C-alpha cells in the first residue's frame, strides 16, 4: 500500500526560483512591510483578477479572519448579525469578537448556504447585518439576500473565504453585498502563505478599515483613529503575485480532479456530491460529499475510517457546527438549525488539490465505494 499520506489539500506553490526572483528586490530596498511596492502591485493585480471596480475597492490584510473581523468593525455595527453555523470558526468568532450577537439561520440542503426562506423570520429590531458564507465556493442566493437587506436596511458582508476568483454570470463575487472577504491561507485555492482581502463598496468604510489595519496612522505626526495591526507584508504579497500568474492553470487541474470524482461517484445512492451552480464560474476549492447511511450502506465514520486505513485523510468540514462550540457554553442551540445539523453529521470533504493525480482519486473512490454494497466488489 502507498506510504505517502494524502491530506485534504496541499498548498500550491510557485517554482522556488520564481519566488526568489520576486523577493530579491526586497534585499535591495530593505522595505519588507508597511504597504511597500509588492503590496501595491499585488493589490492592483488582484483587483483586476477579481473583476472589481479598481484597487481602491479592496484592501489587503494579514489573513482572512482579520479581514472579516475588521470589516465588521469598520461598519460600526451594533446588535444582532444573522449568519450560518455551517462554517469555519472564523465567521462566528468575527461577530462575537466585535461585541455583536450571532443569530443562526439554517442552511439549504443542496448548496449548504443560508436558507433565505428563513431569513426574514429571524430579523428583529436589533438586527444590523447579514453575514452569509459562500461555503465550499457554493454561491449564496445573492439576489434574495440583497432584496431582504434593502427592505430592512441591513448591511451584508459575505464570507467569501472559499470563493476566490469565482464569478456569477461574469460578475466577480467580491462585488456582492456591502463587503466580501477572501482568505489567502495556505489551504486555499489561492494563497499568499497567510493573507486575506476585504472588498467593499463604500470608500469611507474602506478608509476606516485601513485605519484599523494600520493603527489609524496618517503620517509621522498624525494618528487619527484607534486601530490595530493587520497589514499584509511584502513576502506574502510577493507570493500572491507569483501564485496569481498560475491560478487559472491550478484551477484547471482541480477541475480535472473534480470531474474524476463525479465520474466515479455519480449515481451512487445515498451519496450527495457538491452541487453544480450553472451560473457560477467555479474554483473547485473543496469536494464535499454527504453520506446517507441508510441508502449508502455505510456511515460517514465508516467511510472516514476506510480512507484512513489507506492513508487518506478526509476532513469533516464543518463539524461541529459553530452553534455547538463549547466556547459558547450552550448559549446557542443546533436544534434551531436542523438542516445544518443533518449536513454537519454526514459530510466529508475528500482530498482535492491541483497536484492530486487521477490514479489517487481513483483509489480514494474505490475506498469510498468499498464501504457500500453498491461498490462491494471493489476492495
In the bound state with ligand T4K, the residue whose beta carbon lies nearer, of 95 and 369, is 95
In the bound complex, which residue of the shown chain has the CB atom lying closest to ligand T4K? 64
Least gap, CB of 316 to ligand T4K (angstroms): 10
Binding mask 21-60 for ligand T4K (x = CB under 6 A): ----------------------------------------
Confirm or reject binding of residue 175 to ligand T4K (CB under 6 A). Answer: no
Q: Are strands 287-291 and 347-350 parallel, antiparallel or unpaired?
A: antiparallel
Among 22, 106, 159, 334, binds ligand T4K (CB under 6 A): 159
The yes or no reply on residue 364 touching ligand T4K (CB under 6 A) is no
What part of residues 181-210 is at the interface with ligand T4K (CB under 6 A)?
Answer: 183, 185-187, 196
Q: In this chain, which of 91, 113, 180, 243 binds ligand T4K, going by CB under 6 A? A: 91
SS3 assignment for the chain: CCCCCEECCCCCCCCHHHHHHHHHHHHHHCCCCCCCHHHHHHHHHHHHHCCCCCHHHEEEECCHHHHHHHHHHHCCCCCEEEECCCCCHHHHHHHHCCCCEEEECCECCCCCCECHHHCHHHCCCCEEEEECECHHHCCCCHHHHHHHHHHHCCEEEEECCCCCCCEECCEEHHHCCCEEEEECCCCCCCCCCCCEEEEECCHHHHHHHHHHHECCECCCCCECCCCCECECCHHHHHHHHHHHHHHHHHHHHHHHHHHHHHHHHCCCCCEEECCCCCCEECCCCCEEEEECHHHHCCCHHHHHHHHHHCCEECECCCCCCHHHCHHHCCCCCHHHCHHHHHHHHHEEEECCCCCCCHHHHHHHHHHHHHCCHHHCCCC
Binding span for ligand T4K by CB under 6 A among 73-81, 87-95, 204-212, 252-260: 87-95
299 binds ligand T4K (CB under 6 A): no
Q: Does 7 bind ligand T4K (CB under 6 A)?
A: yes
Residue at grid coordinates 487559472: 248
List the interface residues with ligand T4K, window 96-135 (CB under 6 A): 133
160: cell is 467569501
Nearer to ligand T4K (CB atom), residue 363 or residue 369: 363
For ligand T4K, the closer CB: 13 or 37: 13
Shortest gap between Cβ of 322 and ligand T4K (angstroms)?
10
Total interface residues for ligand T4K by CB under 6 A: 22
Residue 316 touches ligand T4K, criterion: CB under 6 A: no
Least gap, CB of 378 to ligand T4K (angstroms) = 26
Q: Is 317 in the site for ligand T4K (CB under 6 A)?
A: yes
Single residue of 65, 155, 324, 346 touching ligand T4K by CB under 6 A = 65
List 57, 90, 92, 113, residue binding ligand T4K (CB under 6 A): 90
Interacting residues with ligand T4K (CB under 6 A):
7-11, 63-65, 87-88, 90-91, 133, 159, 161-162, 183, 185-187, 196, 317
Amino acid at each position: 500500500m502507498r506510504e505517502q499520506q494524502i491530506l485534504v489539500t496541499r498548498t500550491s506553490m510557485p517554482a522556488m526560483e520564481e519566488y526568489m526572483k520576486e523577493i530579491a528586490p526586497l534585499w535591495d530596498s530593505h522595505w519588507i512591510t508597511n504597504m511597500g511596492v509588492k503590496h501595491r502591485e499585488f493589490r492592483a493585480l488582484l483587483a483586476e483578477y477579481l473583476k472589481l471596480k479598481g484597487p481602491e475597492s479592496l484592501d489587503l490584510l494579514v489573513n482572512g479572519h482579520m479581514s472579516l473581523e475588521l470589516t465588521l468593525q469598520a461598519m460600526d455595527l451594533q446588535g444582532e448579525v444573522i449568519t450560518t453555523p455551517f462554517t469555519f470558526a472564523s465567521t462566528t468568532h468575527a461577530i462575537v469578537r466585535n461585541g455583536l450577537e450571532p443569530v443562526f439561520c439554517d442552511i439549504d440542503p443542496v448548496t449548504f448556504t443560508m436558507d433565505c426562506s428563513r431569513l426574514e423570520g429571524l430579523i428583529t429590531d436589533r438586527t444590523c447585518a447579514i453575514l452569509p458564507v459562500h461555503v465550499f465556493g457554493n454561491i449564496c442566493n445573492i439576489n434574495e439576500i440583497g432584496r431582504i437587506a434593502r427592505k430592512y436596511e441591513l448591511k451584508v458582508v459575505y464570507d467569501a473565504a472559499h470563493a476566490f476568483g469565482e464569478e456569477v454570470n461574469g460578475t466577480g463575487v467580491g462585488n456582492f453585498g456591502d463587503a466580501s472577504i477572501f482568505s489567502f491561507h495556505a489551504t486555499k485555492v489561492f494563497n499568499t502563505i497567510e493573507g486575506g482581502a476585504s472588498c467593499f463598496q463604500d470608500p469611507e468604510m474602506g478608509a476606516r478599515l485601513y485605519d484599523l489595519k494600520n493603527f489609524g496612522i496618517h503620517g509621522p505626526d498624525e494618528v487619527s483613529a484607534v486601530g490595530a495591526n493587520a497589514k499584509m507584508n511584502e513576502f506574502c504579497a510577493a507570493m500572491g503575485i507569483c501564485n496569481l500568474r498560475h491560478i487559472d492553470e491550478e484551477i484547471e487541474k482541480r477541475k480535472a480532479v473534480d470531474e474524476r470524482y463525479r465520474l466515479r461517484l455519480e449515481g451512487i445512492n445515498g451519496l450527495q456530491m457538491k452541487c453544480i451552480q450553472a451560473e457560477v464560474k467555479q474554483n473547485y476549492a473543496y469536494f464535499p460529499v454527504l453520506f446517507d447511511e441508510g441508502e449508502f450502506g455505510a456511515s460517514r465514520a465508516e467511510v472516514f475510517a476506510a480512507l484512513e486505513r489507506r492513508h487518506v485523510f478526509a476532513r469533516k468540514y464543518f463539524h461541529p457546527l459553530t452553534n455547538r462550540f463549547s466556547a459558547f457554553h450552550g448559549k446557542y442551540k443546533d436544534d434551531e438549525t436542523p438542516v445544518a445539523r443533518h449536513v454537519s453529521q454526514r459530510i466529508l470533504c475528500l482530498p482535492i488539490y491541483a497536484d492530486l493525480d487521477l490514479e489517487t482519486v481513483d483509489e480514494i473512490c474505490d475506498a469510498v465505494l468499498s464501504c457500500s454494497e453498491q461498490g462491494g466488489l471493489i476492495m
